[in-house]
Amino acid sequence: MSEKRNAKIFIEAADAGVQPSQAAPQIAGLIEAVGLLKQAAPAPVKPDPAFAASLKTNLIARYDELTAADEAVATTKAPSSRRGWFALTAAAAAAAIIVALVVVFVGPSGPPPVATLKVFVGKATVVEEGGARHQVTGTGQVREHDTVAMAGGSRGQLTFKNRNITRLEAGSSARVGYYAYNAVAMELVSGKAYNRVAQGTRYSIAHGKVTVSAVGTAFDVEAAGKGLNSPVFEGTVSVVWPGAEPTVVPQGFTASVTPNDGGFSIKVSPIDIATLDFSWLAFNRDLDRKARFPLGVLDLLAPTPPGGTQPPGTPGQPTTTPTGSNSAGKTSTSPTTPTTPTTPTTPQGQSSASLSLGAVGPPVYIKWQGSNVQAADSVAVLRSAGGTPTYPANSITQAAPSASGSYRDPNVQPGGHYTYAVAYLAGGKVLTVSNPVAVTVPAPAPPPPPTINISLDGNAASDGMHLKWGSSGTATVDKWAIQRSDGGPGSWYDYDSVGGGSAGGSYLDPKVDPKFTYYWRVGAASGGRIIGYSNAVTNH
């Protein structure tokens, strides 16, 4: 009965997904045959799971009954040398039926998942390529070509198997266009997508005809009509559309792409943190910080309020709608929508303030958040050129108090060192002072060095060597230095000089023996040093 034991081993191996290279020689060929059966099987379907499990169990349990007749025939009619082959063939046929039925009835209903969708708040709808739809409120699986649409008041995250991450804001929709172990291509249908790219993988996200791609970075993409806006928080991205050269956008800059005469135009400018959607970016900053990702520009964001940040459309929050033309992704509250009072998220207790830096300038941009500052009647911005600033000695301006605020200080000098703080005041007394923030204002870049290009011509005549040259560039020439070489073009020595002038000059060298070969060149002297030489000429 060794044949029957081998057949049972084969059934178990095929059902467990054992590869031919992992099986004994007499089993490996049959596993390969079953693999061909699986490939030739029709598109799998999924009936009732209980029925599929029962069918599989019953078929395996009836193995002896299915193979008994074939074994009897093999025993009575076949020569002994072929008996084992017939028995194993009959067993394999029954096993193939079992495996094929298992593949049909309990196999997967489509391509394998490529990402896990986690809905942090609210719900999402996953639309499959064939049109099937299902809602996700916790976690779910997403396949290649699926579209994920976030409802109002919802935020979600796609975590791909290759560790790339796409987060979607409320009301946003994106499609998984392509997935491989080292690449992801997303299509942003609408809304906002925050993208955290794993090192060593390629990642792109397109809106319409415009594609933003990166390798190892963090950036946001917001659909803006047929164009888009993409601030780069960490790393570098490339923005391109058909027929255009890629535009590289470095960390700390944002790309705004707008339609233009059938094509597109792009503007790359420094990120202005104050104009960005704080709620959305603080949400992503906090998740990145928890995952120990480098924060880049997002490290400049103010602390998240104790109650967290809520996505647009959250019940009990003011209704917000995109401005449409805002390149930084701001939102505006409709004046006709009543604001529902909400319970303060800041617990009552000790007052505190937190200050952060938005830009080093000039001008310097700072912003702050206050907690439990309802008793304040003003807030003072403090600045010192040395140590920690104090009130009132270092107060530079005061304003009406609020839970958050910002200030641009234009009165700073390039290369200057300053320390800022804010103080909430009540009745002229300090209620609380923020943390100090030190700033070094960047010094202007030094001017480029002067440049000069000199073109020299030479004409040998009976009275000597006539030199004439012209010049171009930004340098001011104090004098022209004539150099000569008697032993080849590399053995130069100072020969003479003539007055300066940026336009050029001329010189006659009468000490020329026509039997010998000489070389000449002209150098431009500016500020006591030679800043450039001409080409060399010779008398032969």
DSSP class of residue 21?
Answer: G
Pair 147, 171 in one domain: yes
Pair 30, 119 in one domain: no
The answer as to whether 191 is a domain residue is yes
Question: For residue 425, which phi and psi values (nearest 5 degrees)?
Answer: -115, 150
DSSP string, 374-441: TT-SEEEEEEESSS---TTTTEEEEE---SEEEEEE----TT-EEEEEEEEEETTEEEEE---EEEEP
Pair 531, 468 in one domain: yes
Maximum C-alpha span of the chain: 125
Which of the listed residues 377, 412, 440 is the one where a domain comes to its end? Answer: 440
DSSP string, 262-299: TEEEEEEEE--GGGS-HHHHHHHHHHHHHTT---GGGG
Pair 92, 163 in one domain: no
Pair 43, 118 in one domain: no
What range defines the domain where residue 378 resides? 352-440
Name the residue type at position 343.
T
Rounded to the nearest integer, the mean pLDDT of the chain is 80
Distance CA 78, CA 72 (A): 10
Pair 89, 202 in one domain: no
pLDDT of 51: 54
The answer as to whether 330 is a domain residue is no
- 188-193 long-range contacts, Cβ below 8 Å, gap at least 24? 188/221, 188/223, 188/228, 189/147, 189/149, 189/223, 190/223, 191/150, 191/222, 191/223, 192/168, 192/220, 192/221, 192/222, 192/223, 192/277, 192/280, 192/329, 193/166, 193/167, 193/168, 193/169, 193/220, 193/221
- As a whole number, mean pLDDT of residues 461-474 equals 91
State the number of CA atoms in the 13 A half-sphere of 23 facing the CB.
22
Pair 426, 531 in one domain: no
pLDDT at 100 over 90: no
pLDDT at 72 over 80: no
- As a whole number, mean pLDDT of residues 109-117 equals 86
Pair 175, 267 in one domain: yes
Distance CA 463, CA 534 (A): 23
pLDDT at 88 over 50: no
pLDDT at 336 over 50: no
Pair 173, 251 in one domain: yes
Query: Scanning the structure block, which residue is given the tokens 């082959």?
Result: 85
Q: Strand order of the sheet with strand 133-136?
A: 133-136, 124-127, 147-150, 173-180, 183-190, 202-207, 210-214, 236-240, 247-250
Distance CA 225, CA 227 (A): 5
The answer as to whether 496 is a domain residue is yes
Pair 238, 125 in one domain: yes
pLDDT at 89 over 60: no
Top mean-pLDDT range of 24-33, 170-179, 324-333, 340-349: 170-179
Q: How much of the chain, in percent, has pLDDT values that exceed 70?
A: 73
Strand, helix or coil for residue 216: coil
Band (pLDDT 50/70/90 cuts) for residue 2 is low
The answer as to whether 200 is a domain residue is yes
Strand, helix or coil for residue 211: strand
pLDDT of 338: 36
End-to-end Cα, the chain, rounded Å: 105
Q: What b/e readout covers 374-384, taking b as 16+ CB neighbours within 10 angstroms?
A: eebeebbbbbb
Pair 44, 191 in one domain: no
The answer as to whether 189 is a domain residue is yes
Distance CA 520, CA 512 (A): 11
Q: How much of the chain, in percent, has pLDDT values that exceed 90?
A: 42
Strand, helix or coil for residue 71: helix
pLDDT at 235 over 60: yes
pLDDT of 239: 94
The answer as to whether 257 is a domain residue is yes
- Residue 214 and residue 237 in contact, taking contact as beta carbons nearer than 8 Å: yes
Sign of CA dihedral 207, 291, 303, 150: positive
Question: For residue 426, which phi and psi values (nearest 5 degrees)?
Answer: -140, 115
The CATH number covering residue 137 comes to 2.60.120.1440
The CATH number covering residue 508 comes to 2.60.40.10
pLDDT of 58: 58
> What residues contact 168, with CB distance under 8 A and at least 6 apart?
124, 148, 150, 155, 156, 157, 158, 174, 191, 192, 193
> Count of CB atoms within 10 A of residue 414's CB?
12
pLDDT of 159: 97
Task: Write out 251-268 in H/E/C secondary structure.
Answer: CCEEEEEEEECCEEEEEE
Which of the listed residues 389, 419, 440 is the one where a domain comes to its end? Answer: 440
- As a whole number, mean pLDDT of residues 354-359 equals 87
pLDDT at 3 over 90: no
Distance CA 315, CA 322 (A): 18
Which of the listed residues 62, 88, 106 is the one where a domain comes to its end? Answer: 106
Q: Convert the pLDDT of each residue in 482-520 to its tens digit.
A: 999 987 776 888 999 988 776 789 999 999 998 889 999
**C-alpha dist (Å) from residue 101 to 45, 47, 94, 243, 506:** 11, 12, 11, 52, 98
Distance CA 489, CA 479 (A): 22
- 482-486 long-range contacts, Cβ below 8 Å, gap at least 24? 482/507, 482/509, 482/520, 482/522, 483/520, 483/521, 483/522, 483/523, 483/533, 484/509, 484/518, 484/519, 484/520, 485/518, 485/519, 485/520, 485/536, 486/516, 486/518
Structure tokens at 479: 């004098």
Structure tokens at 336: 């006709």
Number of domains forming the structure of the chain: 4
Question: Checking DSSP bridges between strand 183-190 and strand 202-207, what pairing results, if any?
Answer: parallel
Q: Kindly state the helix (H) or strand (E) to which residue 14 belongs, with its residue range.
A: helix 2-16
pLDDT of 22: 67
Q: Convert the pLDDT of each residue in 186-229 to its tens digit.
A: 999 999 999 999 888 899 999 999 999 997 788 999 998 889 99
Q: Convert the pLDDT of each residue in 279-335 to its tens digit.
A: 999 999 999 999 999 988 898 888 888 878 889 888 765 444 333 333 333 333 333
**Bigger pLDDT: 235 vs 54:** 235
Pair 253, 385 in one domain: no
pLDDT of 69: 47
Band (pLDDT 50/70/90 cuts) for residue 130 is confident
pLDDT at 27 over 50: yes
pLDDT of 459: 93
pLDDT at 96 over 70: no
